[in-house]
Amino acid sequence: MPRIALSIVLLSASILRAENPSSPESRRLDSWHQWRGPEGNGTAPRAEPPLRFGPSENLRWKVPAPGEGHASPVVWGDLVFLLSAVRTDKTPAAPPATNPKAKTEAPGKVYRFIVTAIDLESGKTRWEETACEEAPHEGRHETNSYASGSPVTDGTRVYAYFGSRGIYAYGLDGKLQWKRDLGDMHTRFGWGEGASPAVHGGTVVVNWDEEDGSFVTALDAATGEPRWRKERDEATSWATPFIVEHGGKTQVIINGTNRVRSYDLATGELVWECGGQTANAIPSPVAMGDRVICMSGYRGAAAKAIPLGARGDITESDKVIWSLAKGTPYVPSPLLYEDRLYFTQRNSGILTVVDARTGKVEIDSQRIPGIEELYGSPVGAAGRVYFIARDGTAVVIRHGGPIEVLATNRLEEPVDASPALVGKKMLVRGRKHLFCFEQAPKPAGGAAGGF
């Protein structure tokens, strides 16, 4: 379908959805309820975030982010949810069993793992709950944190996943509804944990890829009771499950070093699998029409467009729609904006853009001016694509065509989390603060004003 025609179709669908703003679909599109946003691809179809932002420009509010965490904020309605790990001075009464294969050391201190709900308009804390206090059994990579997986919400509960510390379901009022301990994860080299859970149709899915027995499990969203569990032939990954509906069924797609695999959400049965990824799989898949695109970029490069209607093992088969073996990301996930797929090489600011339908390269490994290294994933809205580097430099380029820098912004602290876009707001978690940026209203004279 030509790009103009596709845009018309997307606009028409958006208008139809907007006719009923209270519908579940409309509320979902107006939120950023999960890692990678309402569509799971990094875009916010209804958002209009500011072009320029920083400590003294279009700053709606700034609040301290307690402790440490790379978890990105998620938003539902007027609530922002954030996960953090706060180191205490307490030493554990009984030191936890450590990972003998780890190249990092356990901290030897108790951490407080907390869930915070923040008012979207004011930045005031609505509630804060301690999920648990526990001493981690292994260390983490120097650039990781003990709260790196993002929360997810279905508008009824918010699900806070702290990996080896367990998963906790809270009502939107902050009351704990259930919790479940899945064990202790032993990650590669003791580099720590970081996958986020996914939720769909009353089921929460958790990926548990580690060195000593990987699996994926589905839990009842209302009770936390297991619905199914499937073992996985995988080493450690930091891959978040991606859930997509196709052909009347719902698939759970999980990236991995050995295989990208699709599971039936209802039963856990394997639908299809495809090899060819690299080690340490992290980037989240994205779906467009009849295909899902998966990629990885540690010690190699791989991107594959796989038909959602596939069955069985399609590794190296002609059923793979297209593939690419250069320029793919290690930590950041790709952005799918309409039919354009944006991704950066490893953790650098070198950008590749391909046509998601054909795999044709439209921008081939070009540097984004001002972006050196990034962990956060790009996001898109209002005809723009936003990149935020680890040093806090934020570059906005125009969506479509060659690289055209629209603005270069600078935050006052490092950033490793990905932004969330809701309405006219952009939420960014920095090393020490959570920022909310919003385009300031213009006074009668036309000059930009402050809040």
Residue 189 and residue 83 share a domain: yes
Q: Is residue 224 part of a domain?
A: no
CA angle at 96 for the pair 91 and 98, rounded to the nearest 5°: 120
- Per-residue pLDDT at 29 exceeds 90: no
Residue 397 and residue 434 share a domain: yes
- Per-residue pLDDT at 48 exceeds 90: yes
Cβ neighbors of 193 (< 8 A, separation 6 or more) are: 140, 144, 148, 149, 163, 164, 185, 187, 238
What does the alpha-carbon distance between residue 155 and residue 153 come to, in Å, rounded to a whole number? 6
Residue 102 and residue 52 share a domain: no
CB-based contact 38:375 (threshold 8 Å): no
Residue 183 and residue 117 share a domain: yes
Q: Is residue 220 part of a domain?
A: no
Lowest mean pLDDT among 14-18, 40-44, 194-198: 14-18
Nearest CA to 418 among 377, 368, 372? Answer: 377
Cβ neighbors of 175 (< 8 A, separation 6 or more) are: none
Residue 134 and residue 56 share a domain: no
Tell me the residue range of the domain where 348 lies. 31-62+339-441
Residue 177 and residue 105 share a domain: yes
The whole-number pLDDT of residue 240 equals: 97
Q: Is residue 293 part of a domain?
A: no
- Per-residue pLDDT at 193 exceeds 80: yes
Residues 329-364 have pLDDT tens digits of 999 999 999 999 999 999 999 999 999 999 999 999
The mean pLDDT value for 1-17 works out to: 45
pTM for the model: 0.92
Residues 200-231 have pLDDT tens digits of 999 999 999 999 899 999 999 999 999 999 99
Residue 104 and residue 179 share a domain: yes
Q: Is residue 328 part of a domain?
A: no
Residue 52 and residue 81 share a domain: no
Residues 307-323 have pLDDT tens digits of 999 999 999 999 999 99
Q: Residue 36 maps to which CATH number?
A: 2.130.10.10
The mean pLDDT value for 188-198 works out to: 95
Share the mean pLDDT of the chain.
92
Q: Residue 94 maps to which CATH number?
A: 2.40.10.480
Residue 189 and residue 78 share a domain: yes
Residues 111-161 have pLDDT tens digits of 999 999 999 999 999 999 999 999 999 999 999 999 999 999 999 999 999
Q: Is residue 251 part of a domain?
A: no
The residue among 159, 193, 227 that closes a domain is 193
The bridge status of strand 167-171 relative to strand 249-254 is unpaired
Q: Is residue 450 part of a domain?
A: no
